[in-house]
């Protein structure tokens, strides 16, 4: 099911002319943001959930300007 959903999404992105680098950045930003929301912005827990090192996650949060909103 997830594979089918992903396949359909990828096809839509290709049909709309979205480049691989843009798609990859958007996926990564969304993946990280969702993990942070799920862990109430606990960077250590989100890092474990995503398989990223805590420092890598913090660096990506900074790069994507992901912050906990008030």
- How do residues 17-62 score in pLDDT, each as one tens digit? 999 999 999 999 999 999 999 999 999 999 999 999 999 999 999 9
6 is a domain residue: no
11 is a domain residue: no
Q: Place 70 in a pLDDT band, splitting at 50, 70 and 90.
A: low
Q: Place 69 in a pLDDT band, splitting at 50, 70 and 90.
A: confident
Would you say the pTM of this structure is higher than 0.75?
yes
End-to-end, the C-alpha distance of the chain in Å comes to 35
- Residue identified by tokens 């990280």 is 32
26 is a domain residue: yes
The tally of domains found in the chain comes to 1
For residue 43, give the CATH number of its domain. 1.10.10.60
């Amino acid at each position: 099911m997830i594979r089918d959903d992903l396949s359909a999404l990828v096809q839509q992105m290709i049909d709309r002319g979205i480049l691989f680098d843009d798609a990859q950045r958007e996926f990564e930003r969304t993946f990280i943001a969702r993990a942070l929301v799920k862990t109430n912005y606990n960077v250590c827990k989100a890092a474990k959930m995503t398989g990223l090192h805590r420092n890598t996650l913090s660096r990506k949060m900074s790069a994507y300007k992901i912050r906990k909103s008030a």
